[in-house]
Amino acid sequence: MTRFAAPISEQIWDMKYRLKDAAGHPVDKTVEDTWRRIARALAAVEDDPAPHEAEFYAALEDFKFLPAGRIVAGAGTNRAVTLFNCFVMGTIPDSLSGIFEHLREAALTMQQGGGIGYDFSTIRPKGAGVSGVAADASGPLSFMDVWDAMCRTIMSAGARRGAMMATLRCDHPDIEDFIDAKSDPARLRNFNVSVLVTDPFMEAVKADGPWELVFDGKVMRTVQARDLWNRIMRATYDYAEPGVIFIDRINAANNLAYCETIAATNPCGEQPLPPYGACLLGSVNLARLVTDPFGEAAALDDAALDRLVASAVRMMDNVVDASRFPLEAQAQEAQAKRRIGLGVTGLADALAMVGVRYGSDEAARLTEDWMHRIARAAYLTSSELAAEKGAFPLFDADKYLASGSLAHMDQDVKDAIRQDGIRNALLTSVAPTGTISLFAGNVSSGIEPVFAHAYTRKVLQKDGSRTEEEVVDYAVQMWRDLKGDAPLPDHFVSAQTLDPMDHVRMQAAAQKWVDSSISKTINCPEDIGFDAFKDVYMEAYETGCKGCTTYRPNAVTGSVLSVSESAEQAPTQSTQTDGEVIYMSEPLSRPSELEGNTYKLKWPGSEHALYITINDLVQNGHRRPFEIFVNSKNMEHFAWTVALTRMISAVFRRGGDVSFVVEELKAVFDPRGGAWVEGKYIPSILAAIGGVIERHLIATGFLAGEGMGLKSDPQARVMAVGPSSAKACPSCGSYEMRMIEGCMTCSACGHSKCG
């Protein structure tokens, strides 16, 4: 009898979380082995591990408590990876040497599987003078490009490229360039970007007053606050970024405001963190805690919730001691404050099971009640741990209890903290749970609504064929199991049918009892008016949210998976073989003559230039790359240029979409440093070669433009139903990407750049 509620759940476990040896043979024979591995590893730090291993196993069993994917995949494996999901890095100094030292730290962190957040507000604006050098500063955006290039070269934990968050204050002189940066589809593709919005700025927006752009205490320019706000809103309306972080509210409500200042968040925004802060995440699965689902006595089991939270807090506190850290500064920060981020998943499913419509006033009331109970249980457990093991080292009772988020906490909880202290400085957060929610039987993700009640997923088989399988929401499947073919009640709703203000209402209800923040996407219809769109952000601010992220499908952002409420009407995929690109299984023979071009590449600091020749095959009147030669008088380059030309030529001769060659070369990062070429920072000589190839492919009509794909790609037209702008998953190729909790996530394989 399998523990998995759906085939996709077992596939996610096998692909992402199941421990295997170096040869790919399973070490975890069953999911019970995975739970036992995690429980044993996290109990090992206890004085008496055995009873706690049993307690932890019981919490993990049947997907009741879901540690973040890093913990599930890494705990008990002896692999050199961190169990922490994401980090905010140190404050970037306004000096070239300091900037590149922080770049090195970022690379080391991402190499171990951590996503990172950075505040670039400390870097002087473009055009500002640089003392001692006859030059002007290039500004924070130019260094973000360097970070972006570095990120493309790092594979997190051997499987996933790292995610990054960049923030910039709303009063930085380069804020307008920052707002517009993602309008270029080829730029900052590995970054989420958010504006740090202050309370004075929001008051100036409402008053339509002036707003000063300042650096190092000097006013550089003055703009109208409302104009700047509208610019943020227009960018977000058009291409889904930047997000908005209400940074003053975050700092005012921070339990640790007495000893830290926050200026950045992790990639999905649910963890505002100080320099070198780390986020440790886990989620209580509310969908597993409803008694008598869909019955007259349907309710959340409060006692079971209290017990589960207590086990989860102890387990997560142990992760602080069990985990590796990429940098010593991160280890010291984690030990000093012992932050954890306990959240929920399956909220929408739980609401459906108790007969309440997501987004309604009653749903908001229940959400607040449930989150209050979780916060109360978490703080009481952490206080009990402090009595047993000691409070976090920077604990100061008077200052801690005077903090913003403790103001409305129950008095008995405050009394316990004053008497015994508290083990963990912050305890609650609502993290992205897209992949672990699939793992747990396709429960609704985080505090998001159900995305789709059911959809059809195409599965690639080993023989190359594709089969279809239905993926059903956990609560919908439970309804089917209990009620058969009876139609779903009216209180079953999905993300496509909700008003954006319903989303805001739910986020605000949960935020009251979350001491960190919440990762959530407010889905907006494509035809929402611009003024109504702006109202969403203002409502989020007025109702106490700490940030706001929206998603409006359009031609720039692409469309998410189109779904129907019946699986029979869900989108299908078809294979096209026509078009300008020839897809072949065997390489073509070389004709006696080919058309081509030769390009000269002079790399700064190199004595001899490189000469790059690209020859093209002409088929049906269209040119496509067939071979490449790289020549130089510099014998130091001989071996790798020969290897490069042979490998790239072999790829070219196989046909198909070879644009990835450009992307991979442009992503190569030289740790010795890149160079500025024609006004752009190029991270390595190989990246420069990639740029030459890209220019050739654009000139011959093979590529549509810089940073873009094929000019005509038959495989881009695979949606038989729904918008043609749907985007393919970069991991499995399925056209089943959807925006969840601020990150595009594949519902077919669980891929997400944010974890």
Catalytic residues: 266, 268, 270
How many CB atoms are closer than 10 A to CB 527?
A: 7
DSSP-derived secondary structure for 23-37: TS-BS--SHHHHHHH
Q: Where in 604-674 does DSSP place strands (E)?
A: 610-619, 622-632
Q: Is 561 in contact with 452 (CB distance < 8 Å)?
A: yes
The amino acid at residue 187 is R
Here the tokens at position 139 are 């500004």
Cα 80 to its chain centre, rounded Å, is 22
Q: Is 342 in contact with 312 (CB distance < 8 Å)?
A: yes
Residues constituting the chain? 755
Angle between helices 225-239 and 530-542 (to 10 degrees): 110
Here the tokens at position 86 are 């994401």
| Phi, psi at 620, each rounded to 5° | 55, 35
CA torsion 269-270-272-275 (nearest 10°) is -80
The amino acid at residue 639 is A
Q: Calculate ∠ Cα 241-247-249, nearest 5°.
A: 125
Query: Measuring CA to CA, which residue among 236, 235, 171 is closest to residue 204?
Result: 171
Strands 115-119 and 595-601: unpaired
Where b means 16+ CB within 10 Å and e means fewer, 654-682 reads ebbbbbebbeebbbbbeeeebbebeeebb
How many CB atoms are closer than 10 A to CB 394?
A: 15
Q: Calculate ∠ Cα 67-68-72, nearest 5°.
A: 70
What's the CA gap between 183 and 166, in Å, rounded?
Answer: 15
Here the tokens at position 528 are 């929402």
Cα 234 to its chain centre, rounded Å, is 23
Q: Where in 327-465 does DSSP place strands (E)?
A: 341-345, 454-460
What's the CA gap between 749 and 17, in Å, rounded?
Answer: 13
Q: Is 72 in contact with 63 (CB distance < 8 Å)?
A: no
Maximum pairwise Cα distance, the chain: 87
- For 161, the 3-state DSSP assignment is strand
